[in-house]
């Protein structure tokens, strides 16, 4: 009987499995909360970048449309004044506007201009002028309206694996 009395006299601190499970669950919830906040912040930053890019693109698109309206006016007045020398006169009047990005040497002359979107991208528009006999379809056809990089990327492909 003495043995039973000695066992009862020592206080036993027993951490139950329920307390251990609750500690683990709370720890998991804290980790998942931190991960979800981190993901939400990164998605917010990404959506801000996309929104800024979209706003910049549409602003550049509006400027490109304004430039297209000016080109259309020049082509219209040029054709109405002298349809026989339409290409020559159009080239003279368009060169200052589009900064010599015209090609009147081919059978189908083209006009190319770029509007900056931001520091790294531009909106490039390529117009092919219709021949004087097809002016009913319009003075030009838009063959390209696309976003392109503003500068050339020069990647470094060299790998110095062994140096002596």
| Cβ–Cβ < 8 Å for 109, 98 | no
Q: Do the domain assignments include residue 55?
A: yes
Domain with 137, as residue range(s), is 39-149
Residue 65: strand pairing partners: none
Determine contact, residues 85/104, Cβ cutoff 8 Å: no
Distance CA 72, CA 7 (A): 101
Angle between helices 86-98 and 17-81 (to 10 degrees): 140
d(CA 89, CA 74): 10
Cross-sheet strand order for the sheet of 140-149: 102-103, 110-116, 121-129, 140-149
Residue 33, domain member (yes or no) = no
Within a domain: 104: yes
The reported pLDDT for the residue numbered 90 is 85
- Domain tally for the chain? 1
In a domain, 13, yes or no: no
> Nearest-CA neighbor of 99 among 76, 115, 86?
115
Query: Does a structural domain hold residue 8?
Result: no
Tens-level pLDDT at each residue, the chain (164 residues): 455 545 555 555 666 788 889 999 999 999 999 999 999 999 999 999 999 999 999 999 999 999 999 999 998 998 888 888 888 888 888 888 776 577 777 788 889 999 999 988 999 999 998 888 788 888 899 999 999 998 777 777 777 777 76
Task: Report pLDDT for 3.
Answer: 52
Q: What is the pLDDT of residue 106?
A: 76
């Amino acid at each position: 009987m003495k043995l039973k009395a000695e066992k009862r006299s020592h206080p036993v601190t027993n951490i139950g499995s329920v307390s251990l499970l609750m500690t683990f669950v709370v720890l998991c919830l804290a980790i998942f909360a931190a991960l979800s906040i981190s993901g939400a912040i990164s998605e917010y930053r990404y959506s801000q970048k996309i929104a800024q890019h979209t706003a910049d693109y549409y602003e550049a698109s509006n400027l490109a449309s304004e430039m297209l309206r000016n080109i259309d006016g020049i082509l219209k007045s040029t054709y109405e004044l002298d349809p026989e020398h339409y290409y020559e006169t159009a080239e003279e009047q368009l060169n200052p506007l589009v900064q010599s990005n015209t090609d009147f040497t081919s059978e189908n002359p083209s006009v190319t201009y770029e509007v900056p979107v931001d520091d790294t991208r531009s909106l490039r528009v390529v117009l092919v002028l219709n021949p004087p006999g097809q002016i009913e379809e319009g003075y030009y056809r838009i063959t390209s309206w696309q976003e392109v990089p503003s500068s050339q990327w020069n990647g470094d492909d060299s790998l110095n694996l062994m140096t002596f």
